[in-house]
Amino acid sequence: MANNPNFEQLAAAQKANTEVLMAVMKTGFEGVQRIADLNMAATRELFDSTIANANTLMSAKDINDAARLNQSIAQPNVERMVDYSRRLYELMAQMQKEMTGIIETQYSQFAKTAAGAIDKTKASAPVGGDVFAAAMKSMLDATNKVFDQMTAATKQMNDVTEANVKATTTATSKAVGAGSRSKK
């Protein structure tokens, strides 16, 4: 049974699939860890700024002074929130890119293996067997086209999302800056 080529191919395919699964899981775990680190740093920064802001507000001499101090505290808080959102998006985009890379590599290997198997089948097929091989090749070509279109659409969606995040960040920063200038 160890000399059975189908068994060996099945075992090799199973091993390759397991390796891909492990790579995806490792990438996902590392991504979650980076997000947790970001959240811990943001939480620490929020805690420190809350204490500093409370101390600043307690130094107010009257209601007008408190309002002015409150306004001066608001802009850095919004900027921190925008920065946190941008960094979170960057982490998520990086994680998605890494996972897509793993999957693309696996699909590429699958396509090569399938093409090789089709060629072997075509070469050793009895009369009329080449029709089956041609049908399989056509199916593989169609699958490749769909995969390429899906990959292109995913990349385009990421580009649009990134542009939207940048535009939102810029607009929010400008709005906060304009709001703080108009209240002075």
Q: What are the domain boundaries of the chain? A: 5-182
> How does the average pLDDT of the chain come out, rounded?
78
Residue 58 in contact with residue 127, Cβ under 8 Å?
A: no
Q: For residues 48, 50, 53 and 58, what is the CA-based torsion angle, rounded to 10 degrees?
A: -110
Give every CB contact of residue 128 below 8 A, 6+ residues apart in sequence. Answer: none
As a whole number of angstroms, the distance between CA 60 and CA 64 comes to 8
Nearest one of 44, 8, 13, 7 to 110, comparing CA atoms: 13
- Looking at residue 2, the DSSP 8-state letter turns out to be T
Residue 82 in contact with residue 29, Cβ under 8 Å?
A: no
Instruction: Tell me the per-residue pLDDT of 61-87, one tens digit each, with 9 for 90 and over.
Output: 999 999 999 888 988 888 888 888 889
As a whole number of angstroms, the distance between CA 93 and CA 36 comes to 16
pLDDT band for position 19 (cuts 50, 70, 90): confident
* Radius of gyration of the chain from its Cα atoms, rounded to whole angstroms: 28
As a whole number of angstroms, the distance between CA 109 and CA 126 comes to 27
- Looking at residue 4, the DSSP 8-state letter turns out to be -
* pLDDT reading at 1 higher than 50: no
Instruction: Tell me the per-residue pLDDT of 38-48, one tens digit each, with 9 for 90 and over.
Output: 999 999 999 99
**154-161 long-range CB contacts below 8 Å, 24 or more apart?**
154/100, 158/93, 158/96, 158/97, 161/89, 161/93
Which H helix or E strand runs over 129? Answer: helix 129-182
- Looking at residue 91, the DSSP 8-state letter turns out to be H
